[in-house]
Each structure stands twice: as structure tokens, then as C-alpha cells.
Amino acid sequence: MPFDRRAALAALFATGLPGCTSLGPSRLDRDQLDYTRAVADASKQQTLFNLVRLRFGDAPAFLSVNQLVSSYSLQRSGSASTNIFPSGAINTFFGLGGNVQLTDTPTFTLQPVAGDQFVESYLRPIAPDEVIPLIQGGIPADLLLWLIAQSIGTLQNTHPLARGHRGGSPGFRQTLADLRRLQEGGAMTVAMRGEKADRHAYLQFNTAERPELAQVQRELYARLGVAAAAQEVKVVYGTGTSPRAAPARRPEIPILTRALIGVMSAVAAEIEVPEAAVRSGRTKPTLREPGDPPPLLRVHSGPTPPENPYAAVRFAESWYWIDDTDFRSKLVFTVFELLKSIAESPQARNATVLTIPTR
């Protein structure tokens, strides 16, 4: 076979061409999304797992991803050789060789959330000024406050673990519904003022362009003991006094917030559990009475999860999951994940100031 020098040069050039390309941009485009999805899914699984553990009386345990490094090493080499004997084509030889090696070494740094970090993140109530801005970000006010508030003014939220008085104050649910209507109607906004430890959240009300909501605002103010002329209300941490006992108090709404472990306990108490687990004494039955509001977060249990759940974990001999078609439960779970991020942030670990009205 005759030797073609142009073909040999072209083959040699093609072997060295990959050395001019870069691996980084293509891997970044793919890995950023893949790792984001993996971290988000792992966080959901961990949260659901801890909710189920609490339902069975086990202590929760958290691991935080402090660092994630994925490094790549691409090594390429090529070689070419010829032996040319013009007098005889059969003695002419041409050879090409190449080698490509790709090494992927992902490294994860996981740290248990324990000690002071656990106390500050999960056992201290979250300050109202850390969570109220979520309302301005579009989080439904009723879902947020149903999770995080133990009381608003003198109105008490439900107590899922209590016996006899688990339903809370009759006006609490109506207060949440009114705040949701004002939020969706654009008649309630959130403003933040102050610096660091002196920062406070304010709810601003304006029904001038939505006169049909003016009556909702008046009823809300009367229920919480806020002066009717107030257009801006300061949100403070604490408990309230009866509106009739303090008719001229400052335009403030005291909110007694829960610690994150309290939020988890309230949600976990309503998780469905297999009857066999109740009969064996490993957990208690779900306490529900006629007229109780539906569970905030509906977690199902069974021997196997559905094909594509929103989140699913195995605990003991059963599976627990959130249905991907249950939008309300998914939204509540998302709010809970946001609260967890806030509670674990250094800014939220400052001591919460308790405000006690004196008149």
C-alpha cells in the first residue's frame, strides 16, 4: 500500500488537537446543577427522616454540608512513528498511538450539628424579624405563622401534643386567614428598620385601593388590640394582653415564636403511622378530634412508597413519604426548609429579646 504523507500528518494533528480544548466549562455547566439537585434532595430526605424519628420519640440528628469540592484531572498523550523504505512499499510502516485518562475526585465535608450550634439553631425561638420578611418574599402568611407562631397577641396556636386544649384559640385561624387575604390583595407589606440587634419588622397596611379589604383590616386590628388609625404595626417577640385591658397600647403585634424543634414536633405529631407501630407501643396514635384543622404537612406511611414521591425515607420496617401531587404539603415543607436555613445562619443565633407589654 503506498504511503500517504498528508494522511499521516492529518492523523498526527488530530491526536494533538484535544490538548487545545478545555474540560472545565463543560463540566461546570453539568456539575453545578447535578450537585445542587443532590444537596437539595439530601436535605429533604434528612428533614423528613428527622420528623419521623420525632414521631417515634427518637432524637433528631443533623449533618450539614460545609464544603463540596469536585476536582478533575484530564491527561492526554499521543504518538506517531514511521519507517519508510522508498524501494519497497511493503516495507513502509506507519503507527499512531494515544491515551486519555479522566480522574474525578469529589470531596464532601460533613459536620454534625451539635453542642452550642444545635442549641442556638434548634432550641432557641427564631426571632420574628428573621421570618416576617418571608411574607414580602411571597410565602403565604398563614402557612408561615401557622408553623412558626405559638401565639399572636393573646390568640394561641394549636398544641398537637396537648390533651383537651389542642385546638388553640378560635380567633387564631381567622387571624391567619385575614393576614393571607390582606397579603394577597396587596394591602399588607413588610418593612425592615434598624441595624443588626436593633432591627425590627413592621407590617404596613393600606386599603385605599382595595376598599373591600378595609373591614378585614378593622376586624384584624380589633382582634389584636391595635389602634384603628395605625397604618404601620411593629412586630415584636412576646405575648400579648387582652385588647380590652390595653385599648390604647402602642401599635404592636407581639408574636411568640417557636423554636425550630418545636415546629418539628408540631408537624411530626400529625404524621400517619402504621397501626402495628401503635399496637406495639413504639409510638402513640395520631390525636385528632372532629373539627380539628387538617394536618399542615401530610406524611403518608406504608410498606412501599409511590413511584415518584416528593420525598421518601425508610424507618424501621415502613416507608414514609410526601406525595408529589400534594402541592400544599410541598409548599409547607419548602417553608420549613427555609426556616431551617434561617435558624442555622449565624445572624439568627443572637439572643431573642422578650417584650412584655405593661399596659
Determine the Cα angle at 122 with ends 119 and 126, to 5°. Answer: 110
Q: 104 with 121, same domain?
A: no
**Is pLDDT of 21 > 60?**
no
Looking at 112, 138, 171, the residue that finishes a domain is 112
Give the model's pLDDT for residue 69. 73
Three-state DSSP class for residue 58: coil
- Average pLDDT over the chain reads 81
- pLDDT of residue 223 exceeding 60, the answer is yes
| Axis crossing angle, helix 24-55 with helix 327-344, rounded to the nearest 10 | 100
| Furthest-apart CA atoms within the chain: distance in Å | 116
- The answer to whether residues 211 and 280 belong to one domain is yes
- Is residue 150, in this structure, part of any structural domain at all? yes
Position with higher pLDDT, 94 vs 325: 325
Mean of pLDDT values over 49-68:
88
Residue 335: which pLDDT band, with cuts at 50, 70 and 90?
A: very high
Q: Would 200 be classed as within a structural domain? A: yes
Q: What is the pLDDT of residues 265-319, one digit of tens each?
A: 989 988 989 999 999 999 988 876 666 778 889 999 999 988 999 999 999 889 9
Which of 112, 135, 160 is the endpoint of a domain? Answer: 112
* E strand or H helix that includes residue 236: strand 232-237
In this structure, is residue 357 part of a structural domain?
Answer: no
Does 216 score more than 50 pLDDT? yes
Clarify whether residues 100 and 136 are in a common domain.
no
Let me know if residue 11 belongs to a domain.
no
Complete DSSP assignment for 176-212: HHHHHHHHHTT-EEEEEES-GGG-EEEEEE--TT-GG
Under the banding of pLDDT at 50, 70 and 90, the label for residue 15 is very low
Quick check: is 356 in a domain?
no
Residue 203 pLDDT class (50, 70, 90 cuts): very high
Q: Distance between CA 53 and CA 315 in Å, rounded?
A: 8
Contact 344, 241 (CB under 8 A): no
- Give per-residue pLDDT as tens, 140-157: 999 999 999 999 999 999
Is 267 in the same domain as 127?
A: yes
pLDDT of 121 reads 87
Confidence of residue 120 (pLDDT cuts 50, 70, 90): confident
Give yes or no: residues 95 and 41 share one domain.
yes
Domain co-membership, 106 together with 28: yes
Does residue 2 sit within a domain?
no
Distance CA(103)–CA(120), nearest Å, equals 41
Q: Which residues contact 331 (CB under 8 A, 6 or more apart)?
A: 140, 143
User: What pLDDT is recorded for position 93?
Assistant: 62
Q: Is 264 in the same domain as 204?
A: yes
Same domain, 259 and 242: yes
Choose between 72 and 12: higher pLDDT: 72
The total number of structural domains in the chain stands at 2
Residue 354 lies in a domain: no
Write b or e for each residue in 144-174: b if 16 or more Cβ atoms lie within 10 A of its Cβ, otherwise e. Answer: bbbbbbbbbbbbbbbebeeeeeebbbebbbe
Residue 72 has pLDDT above 70, yes or no: no
What number is the average pLDDT over the span 21-46? 76
Strands (E) located in 22-92:
63-83
Is residue 12 scored above 50 in pLDDT?
A: no
Q: Is the pLDDT of residue 46 over 90?
A: yes
| Mean pLDDT for the stretch of residues 71-79 | 66
pLDDT at residue number 3: 47
Q: What is the pLDDT of residue 289?
A: 66
Residue 257 is assigned to a structural domain of this protein: yes
Name which residue leads in pLDDT, 164 or 303.
303
Q: Does 179 share its domain with 101?
A: no
Task: Say yes or no: 87 and 213 in one domain.
Answer: no
Q: Which domain holds residue 178?
A: 115-349
Q: How much is the pLDDT for 71?
A: 67
Higher pLDDT, 41 or 99: 41
Please tell me the predicted confidence (pLDDT) of residue 17: 46
Mean pLDDT of 245-256: 72
Mean pLDDT of all residues in 112-131: 88
Domain shared by 299 and 181, yes or no: yes
Do 95 and 141 belong together in one domain?
A: no
Choose one of 96, 112, 128: the last residue of a domain. 112
